[in-house]
Amino acid sequence: MATKHLLPCDCGKSIRVEPSQAGDRVVCECGAELDVPPLRQLRDLPLDVQPGDAPSARGGGEWSFRAGVLTAGLLIAAVLAGLGGWWWATEPPMPGGFDPNATAQRMEGLVDQMNAKQAYKQWVEFYSLNRPLAPVTDPRTQAAIDHVRHMRLVRTTLVIAGAVVAVLSLLLFTQLKPRKQA
């Protein structure tokens, strides 16, 4: 939006002129031809402020440090939330954990294959010590479980960091005083 100035006429009225008209001639309603001053002198004329040209109550229509802080904070928060969402979308399914029925079937198969000496040795090792059977997990399954847990931790950290950045930027926006324009 171009700045408009008021060029006074001898009849008492003012003519709206733009910087692009500097050095030209304009005609007033009374019929008088007026010379528009050069650009340097045009700045000395009063500004033409229309009701629709007034800065909005939201922030004056100009970029400020406050708006920059808010925008930067919300952009960072959006990026962090987006990364958290990407981690959530690409998370592999959690492998099945300990299944007591499958373990019991596997143990029954192992017991059926043992001879008497091996069965007695297992009985002494596990049952005479009153120790339950420990869940047997495949190292690859355990690695997959650890990977999923790590992805969930990173995702949660990203989302929390994004929320903290958003809250901090909103607090800074509300606490910073708008600068007075001269």
Domain range annotation of the chain: 5-49, 62-96+138-177, 98-136
The 10s digit of each residue's pLDDT in 51-107 is: 655 555 555 567 888 888 889 999 999 999 999 899 889 888 877 766 778 778 877
SS3 of 1, please? coil
17 neighbors 26 (Cβ within 8 angstroms):
yes
3-state helix, strand, coil in the chain (%, to 5): 55, 10, 40
Name the E strands within the chain: 5-8, 14-17, 25-27, 33-35
- Note the pLDDT of residue 166: 92
Is the pTM higher than 0.85? The answer reads no
